[in-house]
Structure 1
Amino acid sequence: MKLNVIILSLFTTIGLFSSCVDVLDIAPDGSLTMEEIVADPNKVGALLNSCYNNVPLKGYTSHHFETLLVAASDDGWSSDDGQNTRIAKIYNGVGNASSHPVRDMSGESSSNNGAYWAKSWNQIYLCNQFLEIIDNAAVNSEQERERYRAEARVLRAFFYSELVRWFGKIPVLETTAAFDADFSGLKRLPVHEVVEFIIKDCDAGIACAELPWRVTTKSEAMRTTKALAWAIKSRMSLVAASPLFNEGNDYWEEAYQINAAALKALTENGYELFTTCTDINTYGDGKGAAFRQIVASAADYAVTPRDKETIWQHAKTGTMGSIQHHIWHIGYIGCGMDNTFKCATCPTQELVDAFETLDGQPVLNLNKPYLDERHLQPNYNINNTLYDPNNPYVNRDPRLHETALCNGDQIVWDNGKIWNVDIYEGGRHHISLDPSDRTRSRTGYYHCKTVVPKMSATNQGSLIPWKFFRLAEIYLNLAEAAAESGHMAEAKAVADVVRDRVGMPALPVGLNKDELLLRIKNERRVELAWEEIRYFDLRRWQKTDGDLRETCTWLTGMKITPKEDGTFAYERYNIWTKERGGAQNRDLLLPLPQDEVNRMEAVTGDKWQNPGW
């Protein structure tokens, strides 16, 4: 059966020359023929630039200044829960295969809807098209040709990786399709097969002598590198080995080998954890200062940069009114202060519970953190002697106070004035459970991790680009794969490197596999919070018949009440009196767009939709 033009919507380009990455040259006008384009080296470069279109926006630019994926995990709860917003639809379980609040988001305007399916395929088409013409295109040098080819292949790997994480099984197309092509045999391939294709593209980039290890000038911001190729291999090998995607096969040794090679290659070529704060005036001199600086500042472009940890960051930056990624007046204090807009997503009590005490002991029993399904009865770790439920924010992992603003913390606002964060009942920053109140925390905490300290209403500071990959994730990817494949000593050792940055003690010696995996998974949670990793981790760790009810349906906050003696009483509460949506089995993967499913099922005769949709 032949596909007509409508059916080819999955694969054909939409707006080939409509926009480009800002730091790259503008793409050629759509009226030009391909023959004219490939005859001009400048236009060939601009054609490559179009392959960078639609690298997705993340963080507070994902939808209406909301960190949607954090809010949809168990790490955060949004104060937009009572509004007609995407996050409210997720919480209320609204969404279907024709219109889904996560799948159809991307960027601040409705014109960006549908990015995670249609736009990823659009970019894959463009990459395929470029790879088909580059061998015979006019270029300034053969070295340029080689680099262009490698860039396109690594970009293609990135867009395929995005599709896999969201949708699971997908088809693989490595060439453009003719309008009358026969697609009756097209199938959604197992994730491991797709990841093998992704790795092949990454390996081609790594093998290219002309592809650099690091971008060293701002004019090349966001161009692909060998380091990005290794990072994609690292992340996606972990995905392929995980229960949701492995189809009962054990791919953990393979994931271990890939991640061990990735970390070795990256560290041997100039990448390292950022361990020394270089701006004490802004970030202080505490044990968490370097951690906060790396996540709240843009990576610099230099041959020997200050930041050697960031592997790939977005090219988009700017000031208020243009696209940016972290915003001082949203998702920070968000209430009771001049020139703030709304509160947005705040850390849950569940996330705060995940931060250990300074002696390296978990606060809760990680095997069963709560004794009840509503998380109101914490199952405390009997070996923890430092945690005090009546003074819960002292003696904690330094990353806690670099991630969440807790009652009693301080912020700088209003021309350098120091303000206490008063989240207690009657305090300036008290909680509100009123669904019409967007300005206050639902949880008893506020977010601060990706916000530069000392920002204020009159000094918003720099707005940083989103960091897609940093080296700490590669360390923790290796730790998980090593533990799963039985390389216990190495798993502990690489996790300990990440912990050491903030002065946390090494993991205990002698943990068995299950115990070590619990600690590593918790380490991922606290190190990578607010970086849109947890959303995917929760899902890939589930079996295909699993769901997210245990972690994501009943979430809690902390009510803090002043006592006459100057201390506080702390009481856990459920943020909603009903279950939060988005935690069913079907929510482990996004639905394919239903009109796309209808067309492809008519052509192939196979089922294309994900389970439950």
Structure 2
Amino acid sequence: MKKRFIYICIFASLLTFSSCNEALDVAPDGRLSLDEVFQDPDLTKAYFSTCFDYLPKKSLRYHFWSNYPVALSDEAWDCTDGSGAGFAHAASGNCTTTDFYLDVRRDMGDTYSEGGYWQLYWGQIRIINTFLQRAATAAIPSESDRDRWVAEAHVLRAYFYMELLKWYGPVPIEKEPYGLDYDYSTLSRPTFEDCARFIVDDCEIALQSSNLPWRLTTLNEKIRMTKGIAMAIRSEASLFAASTYNNGGKDLWEWAYTINKDCLEQLKANGYELYTKCADTEKYYNNAYMEYFTLNNYIGTDPSDKETIWQSTEGYWPDPYTNPLYDVIGAPVLGNAQLTIVPSQELVDAYDMLATGKPVLDLSKPYNDEKHLSPNYNPNSGYDPANPYKGRDPRFQATIFYNNSPVLLGKEPAVVETYVGGNSEIRTSGNTNTRTGYYWRKRMVNGNCKAAGVAGYDGRFRFYRLGKIYLNAAEAAIESGYLTEGLEWINEIRHRAGFDPSVDLSTNDKNEARLLVRHERQIELACEEDRYFDIRRWTPANENMENEKFTTGMRITKNGNSFSYERINLGTDGSKPSKMSYEKKWHVYPIPASEAAVLEGTTGQTWQNAGW
């Protein structure tokens, strides 16, 4: 590890960490001792502000408006495939511990790309630990402020640890700053469960605060932490710890179930609820799920969006990196400038039939071949391969632009034509047209488009929302044997989507229920960075992520007034995988080579993740 991980260099850290938020002041200049900093109210507040630095942007901020976890999962492809950028590097199998393009933080002019989490998040944890160590005697304006700031610091530490855990696997648990005389040769790597329980404990400490709010009520606090966020992190940490890849062979599902049920119940009891009523039908928002992701008003005493727990603050116009979305992930008919991630045929295949409530494919074996060119259709679903987009789960239209999708160009109705020769046709190269035959619609405000000269705010990325907590709780319940309760939570999510209670999911078979909840997560949480981590935590360590090996699209040809459909492999002629990131070593990122080398040299133990 670099010296910032092994030694306390707080003054250098304060010089390099810029605090850009509006809610708190900038950091001190680093020329004072810590005693002097924490004896001054203004400097203490400024120091506390640095605990919030490097909260991630997510969404399209990874590099060149890509989203690596979405692109590398089975739900998408990335049209930067010919550029040599991060997605192409991973898909072609060229990533190494010394040349890991995906995890590098890059200057993008007026901002930075996502990445470099190992160094950044350890730096944040070090700062937070120093604040927590000093908080009891620090010059903080009031005891209520002291209580809230300490609670927020615990939530922030839990979040940064959760991110390290998801990306790199178990990491050392640091509860207080290591002193200059600390014996680093004694460091060891804990289990995933150890880390997860530490994260849960941090959240539970924060939840005891009477001054930490359940939700934010004013925009000038938009980056601050809440009890809602603590509950969401607590939910995720326990769920991940109980999962196959992480549980160390132990059955932790009852623990995860208890925590997740409590999280869901407390969030609902404190004002969080699913967004179920569609307000703006003039923009073709024919279901609440579609409209929900276009909203940016979850802060307030009585916000119209009560589902969002924590949302990115990025994206205010004219920020080009997340808004407007049509510019970098929209279809050419909308006037996009370039294109990055696009939905896969695998994701399209996942959407059930609305009338029957049944999946299009057999969930236990979706395809008859490893290349996904031969679907294993469910004969009872009501699906028609000759009319593939008719009668599907309403979340399909809310999430994806498909051939003949209705759209507004300003106020004028139009359709997205993805067939060969259409206004947004499929192409095998270039950076404006889809490779798969589909474009993302999720979070895009209908009517915003360059083609009509209308620019506006699209929806921002949600880190956590109540819909995800429902499904976390449902999965933990099903894995613990509480099938009826788990399926009830899934059905509540499906009712919001538009499914009638007459087609509610039900089964007494645990294996079938497991397939159902995993299937529901794939649909409900599409393009939210969950699928990438879900597949990895569900897959045993000695197995590849086989569902990601081949990615497909749909080439459509227009014949008069009818269409013909051909499934195609992406990035390959079939002789090699579409994405080499399907290999088992890709359960987690590699620890940066220089960091692993220092750790191994200091402790005499192996630290690098398996396979890297």
Q: Does 1:69 align with 2:66?
A: no
Identity %: 37
Q: Does 1:54 align with 2:60?
A: no
For residue 230 of structure 1, report the CA deviation from its aligned partner. Answer: 0.7
Under a length normalisation based on structure 2, what TM-score does the superposition of the two structures give? 0.94
Distance in 2, Cα, partners of 1:612 & 1:510:
39
What is aligned with 1:532? Answer: 529
Contact 2:59 2:322 in 1 (8 A): no
Q: Does 1:119 align with 2:120?
A: yes
For residue 4 of structure 1, report the CA deviation from its aligned partner. Answer: 9.5
What is aligned with 1:356? Answer: 352
Distance in 2, Cα, partners of 1:6 & 1:491:
44
Q: Which amino acid aligns with 2:164?
A: L
For residue 27 of structure 1, report the CA deviation from its aligned partner. Answer: 2.1
What is aligned with 2:249? Answer: 248
What is aligned with 1:498? Answer: 493
For residue 49 of structure 1, report the CA deviation from its aligned partner. Answer: 1.1
Q: Which amino acid aligns with 1:447?
A: W
What is aligned with 1:450? Answer: 443
Q: Which amino acid aligns with 1:422?
A: E
Question: Residues 140-159 of structure 1: CA distance to partner in whole angstroms, max 9, x if unpaired?
Answer: 11111000100001100000
For residue 454 of structure 1, report the CA deviation from its aligned partner. Answer: 1.0
Between 1:369-378 and 1:87-96, the stretch displaced more is 87-96
For residue 108 of structure 1, report the CA deviation from its aligned partner. Answer: 4.2
Question: Residues 389-418 of structure 1: CA distance to partner in whole angstroms, max 9, x if unpaired?
Answer: 0000010000001111010112222x4332
For residue 38 of structure 1, report the CA deviation from its aligned partner. Answer: 1.5
Distance in 1, Cα, partners of 2:114 & 2:439:
29
Q: Secondary structure at the match of 1:570?
A: strand
For residue 355 of structure 1, report the CA deviation from its aligned partner. Answer: 0.2
Q: Which amino acid aligns with 1:269?
A: N
For residue 484 of structure 1, report the CA deviation from its aligned partner. Answer: 0.4
Alignment of 1:395-544 (within 5 A): 395-413=391-409, 415-434=410-429, 437-457=430-450, 458-505=453-500, 506-544=503-541
Distance change >3 Å, CA 114–CA 11, structure 1 → 2: farther
Q: Secondary structure at the match of 1:69?
A: helix
Distance in 1, Cα, partners of 2:144 & 2:72:
45
Distance change >3 Å, CA 326–CA 9, structure 1 → 2: farther
What is aligned with 1:163? Answer: 164
Contact 2:2 2:594 in 1 (8 A): no
What is aligned with 2:81? Answer: 81
Distance in 2, Cα, partners of 1:176 & 1:447:
44
Distance change >3 Å, CA 86–CA 363, structure 1 → 2: same
Distance in 1, Cα, partners of 2:454 & 2:596:
49
What is aligned with 1:19? Answer: 18
Q: Does 1:366 align with 2:363?
A: yes
Q: Secondary structure at the match of 1:568?
A: strand
Contact 1:48 1:130 in 2 (8 A): yes
Q: Which amino acid aligns with 1:520?
A: V
For residue 35 of structure 1, report the CA deviation from its aligned partner. Answer: 3.1
**Structure 1: stretches of 5+ with no match in the other structure:** none
Q: Does 1:271 align with 2:261?
A: no
Between 1:398-407 and 1:311-320, the stretch displaced more is 311-320
2:328 to 314, 327, 330: 330
Distance in 1, Cα, partners of 2:468 & 2:235:
9
Between 1:119-128 and 1:10-19, the stretch displaced more is 10-19
What is aligned with 1:153? Answer: 154
Distance in 2, Cα, partners of 1:91 & 1:432:
19
Q: Secondary structure at the match of 1:56?
A: coil
Alignment of 1:206-221 (within 5 A): 206-221=207-222
Q: Does 1:558 align with 2:551?
A: no
For residue 36 of structure 1, report the CA deviation from its aligned partner. Answer: 3.3
Contact 1:215 1:301 in 2 (8 A): yes
Question: Residues 528-583 of structure 1: CA distance to partner in whole angstroms, max 9, x if unpaired?
Answer: 001100010010001111111x211211111111123x111111111222312111
Distance in 2, Cα, partners of 1:195 & 1:234:
10
Distance in 2, Cα, partners of 1:57 & 1:4:
25
How many residue pairs match? The answer is: 600
Contact 1:11 1:121 in 2 (8 A): no
Contact 1:57 1:106 in 2 (8 A): no
Between 1:577-586 and 1:226-235, the stretch displaced more is 577-586
**Structure 2: stretches of 5+ with no match in the other structure:** none
Distance in 2, Cα, partners of 1:306 & 1:6:
43
Q: Secondary structure at the match of 1:557?
A: strand
Question: Residues 167-197 of structure 1: CA distance to partner in whole angstroms, max 9, x if unpaired?
Answer: 1111100111223321111111100001111
Distance change >3 Å, CA 598–CA 250, structure 1 → 2: same
Between 1:318-327 and 1:37-46, the stretch displaced more is 318-327
Distance change >3 Å, CA 259–CA 351, structure 1 → 2: same
Q: Which amino acid aligns with 1:382?
A: P
Q: Secondary structure at the match of 1:246?
A: coil
Question: Residues 37-57 of structure 1: CA distance to partner in whole angstroms, max 9, x if unpaired?
Answer: 222223222211101100111
Question: Residues 127-147 of structure 1: CA distance to partner in whole angstroms, max 9, x if unpaired?
Answer: 101101111111111111000
For residue 612 of structure 1, report the CA deviation from its aligned partner. Answer: 0.2
What is aligned with 1:377? Answer: 374
What is aligned with 1:600? Answer: 599
Contact 1:283 1:293 in 2 (8 A): no
For residue 512 of structure 1, report the CA deviation from its aligned partner. Answer: 0.7
Q: Secondary structure at the match of 1:23?
A: coil
Question: Residues 181-222 of structure 1: CA distance to partner in whole angstroms, max 9, x if unpaired?
Answer: 211111111000011111111001100111110110000002
For residue 261 of structure 1, report the CA deviation from its aligned partner. Answer: 0.4
Q: Secondary structure at the match of 1:515?
A: helix
For residue 315 of structure 1, report the CA deviation from its aligned partner. Answer: 2.6
Between 1:259-268 and 1:416-425, the stretch displaced more is 416-425
Between 1:242-251 and 1:458-467, the stretch displaced more is 458-467
Alignment of 1:269-348 (within 5 A): 269-284=270-285, 286=286, 288=287, 290-321=288-319, 324=322, 327-333=325-331, 335=332, 338=335, 340-348=336-344
